[in-house]
Amino acid sequence: MPLTLAATAPGEPEIFASLQGEGPSAGRPCAFVRLSGCNLACLWCDTAYTWRFDGDNRPHRDGIAWPRKANQVVLDEAEVAARIMALGQDRLVITGGEPLLQGAALARMAALLEGMAIEIETNGTAAPHPALDPLVAHYTVSPKLKHSGNPVDLAQNSERLSAWAREPKVWFKFVVAAPDDVGEAIALVEAHAIPRERVFLMAEGVSSDVLRARERWLAPLALAQGLRLSDRLHIHLYGDTRGT
């Protein structure tokens, strides 16, 4: 089965090299592949072109319905692997959308890669495919808080979060838009025994001005809770653009 990828332009898959902007690998040169499709619908999602296609009425603050044909590319797993290897990086970030919805195809693609550490960015609602999991160096799990607009029972699956918390190769990243969101994140950390040394708080925002304004109040809250703060380096460097 082929992989369904996001597109940077019609017919051009979103496979690129850049500096990782967030989380535990921030600042590292990486190859990236962005997959298409998501089981959640965050109101503030900055990659809504991966899921909010014509006919999808799930709410989003921009209200844009993206043409599916222009924003999706379907490629054979071997072709995806070859394009990734051609970028010459030693680390691959698989993101989305929600990558774990295509776990079996990802496992077959990842098995074709040589000399690459693989990290996956996921919303944490889906279990890793058993053939994919051994090939992954680490996961960054980003549970969606209430301000995302998703049903809480879907976005914060208790059994899944507890399973992720027991896995030593998992980091957690909570997207925060207001100070009260930190309390919700802490409640999840405590309820699921998530190790605090593997938790990041990250401001929601797609401009440097918004990120900096929110980080001014988020930084002392992270310090008080003993949690890490993640910036969004790619936003400062490239703006809110595809393929970066």
Contact 139, 169 (CB under 8 A): yes
- State both tokens at 13: 């898959």
What digits encode the pLDDT tens for the residues 192-228?
999 999 999 999 999 999 999 999 999 999 999 999 9
Distance from C-alpha of 9 to C-alpha of 241, rounded to nearest angstrom: 12
Strands 72-75 and 170-176, bridge-based pairing = unpaired
**Shortest CA distance to 135 belongs to which of 151, 123, 118?**
118
* pLDDT value for 78: 98
Question: What residues have CB less than 8 Å from 72, skipping those under 6 apart?
Answer: 4, 5, 6, 7, 36, 53
What digits encode the pLDDT tens for the residues 41-57?
999 999 999 999 999 99
Looking at domain 3-238, its CATH architecture is: Alpha-Beta Barrel (3.20)
What digits encode the pLDDT tens for the residues 143-195?
999 999 999 999 999 999 999 999 999 999 999 999 999 999 999 999 999 99
Domain residue spans of the chain: 3-238
Q: In the structure, what pLDDT confidence band is assigned to residue 118 with cuts at 50, 70 and 90?
A: very high
Maximum CA extent, the chain: 48
Across the range 8-30, mean pLDDT stands at 98
* pLDDT value for 242: 97
Distance from C-alpha of 34 to C-alpha of 217, rounded to nearest angstrom: 31
* pLDDT value for 226: 97
What digits encode the pLDDT tens for the residues 59-85?
999 999 999 999 999 999 999 999 999
Distance from C-alpha of 171 to C-alpha of 47, rounded to nearest angstrom: 21
* pLDDT value for 57: 93
